[in-house]
Amino acid sequence: MLKSLGLTLWSNNVNGRPFIRLTLDGIVHYDSVLTEEITYLLVTLDDTTVSNHTLQLIRYGKTYENVDSINDQTVILQSIEIDGVKIPDYIIHQSTFTYADVIEHGSLEFGPNGIWEFVFTSPIITDLMDRKIQHEMQYTEDYKYPWSYVLSTSSVTQITQRINNAINKVRSYYES
């Protein structure tokens, strides 16, 4: 279920404005020059299926004329909204930008011609919750649930053992 997709892009004018092609699942929804410094692209859809999606921004048309000694024609993805939900930056960074046989993970700045790609599942709320859990799991293995402050049984046992060890060290120090 995917109803809308909105992207905010920043771009600069260095001997011309940059070109961007926006595709979703291989279908072109925008293909033109970014005429403003800040451009908001809105794609409205009528997709009622639950499925995986591939969003691509294809940066093309840049030549050596679009670079000078100080500036470089660039496009920066500032934000994405899917079905009215702003996608957190750490999730947007789960993307790739491929150019000249180079793959940059998490880059949202597109200087050279290349393809930025972000894969997600609709409905987006389910996808965001799954990614949030996966993200939190790497930092919160002591917790029963990654999104809570409820300690897991093994974590409580470990903490209790550490406290008991500290108490025993203090006792043995004062008893000797």
pLDDT band with cut points at 50, 70 and 90 for residue 92:
very high
Q: From the centroid of its chain, how far is CA 6?
A: 14
pLDDT digits (tens, 9 = 90+) for 25-54: 999 999 999 999 999 999 998 876 768 999
Encoded amino acid at 32, one letter: S
pTM of the prediction? 0.75
Please tell me the distance from the alpha carbon of residue 48 to that of residue 102, in angstroms, as a whole number. Answer: 36
Convert the pLDDT of each residue in 114-155 to its tens digit: 999 999 998 898 888 888 877 776 665 555 555 555 555 566
What is the dotted CATH code of the domain comprising 2-137? Answer: 2.60.60.40
What are 19's two structure tokens? 């070109």
The domain spans of the chain are: 2-137, 141-176
